């Protein structure tokens, strides 16, 4: 790995830790506001990245996928919640789920404002640009309606009962489906096009 690649990787990790932490914090915070103290009781209403890192999902898994396929695939520790304690039932769960991706969209917007408002150069420009692209990517990816991604909980709240039942059956295998699609290129160009469309709209 050359110097530029190492530099880019370091930027990516720093930006990811911030974006991931805010994403998970917002899940936990909205859950509390909707009446569920589960995340609070487990110390997840925190802006400390260590509170949201899962040893396997956030550290070991990306190391394996990068070593084998040059793809950094990772996930934060899921924020726990108790559906029965949330206000508004399924819609409360949808609000909790949407809070994470929407926080990434907000961070992407703030990054775009910084790029437009200040004459950034060097490290600052690279950091803000990376942060912008990463947050757009997290926003788009997490809204894919495949369990257990956040988009699936949003869809579930508004889906007819047959689709809800199908999603419940798929959920135990959802993570493996997502990994397979990522590694096999199943998301392909349309995901990249979505990212570009959101970036263009923000900028």
Catalogue the active-site residues. 24
Taking the alpha carbons of 56, 179, 157, 101 in that order, is the dihedral positive or negative?
Answer: positive
Question: What are the distances in angstroms from CA 195 to CA 45, 69, 192?
Answer: 29, 22, 5
Residue with tokens 């404002």: 113
CB half-sphere exposure, 146, CA atoms < 13 A:
15
Instruction: Decide: residue 37, CB within 10 A, 0-12 exposed, 13-18 middle, 19+ buried.
Output: middle
Transcribe 62-125 into DSSP letters: HHHHHHHHS-----PPPPP--GGGSTTHHHHHHHHHHHHHHHHHHHHHHHHHHHHHS---HHHH
């Amino acid at each position: 790995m050359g110097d530029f690649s190492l530099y880019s990787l370091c930027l990516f990790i720093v930006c990811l830790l911030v974006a991931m932490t805010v994403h998970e914090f917002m899940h936990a915070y909205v859950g509390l506001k909707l009446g569920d103290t589960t995340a609070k009781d487990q110390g997840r209403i925190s802006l400390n990245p260590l509170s949201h890192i899962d040893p396997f999902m956030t550290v070991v898994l990306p190391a394996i996928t990068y070593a084998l396929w040059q793809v950094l695939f990772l996930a934060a520790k899921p924020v726990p919640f108790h559906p029965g304690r949330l206000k508004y039932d399924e819609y409360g769960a949808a609000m909790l789920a949407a809070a994470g991706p929407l926080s990434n969209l907000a961070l992407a917007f703030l990054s775009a404002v910084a790029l437009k408002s200040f004459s950034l150069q060097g490290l600052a420009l690279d950091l803000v640009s990376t942060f912008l692209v990463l947050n757009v990517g997290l926003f788009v990816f997490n809204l894919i309606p495949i369990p257990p991604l956040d988009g699936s909980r949003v869809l579930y709240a508004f889906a007819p009962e047959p689709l809800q039942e199908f999603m419940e059956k798929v959920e135990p295998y959802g993570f493996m489906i997502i990994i397979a699609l990522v590694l096999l290129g199943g998301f392909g160009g349309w995901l990249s096009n979505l990212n570009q469309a959101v970036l263009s709209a923000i900028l």
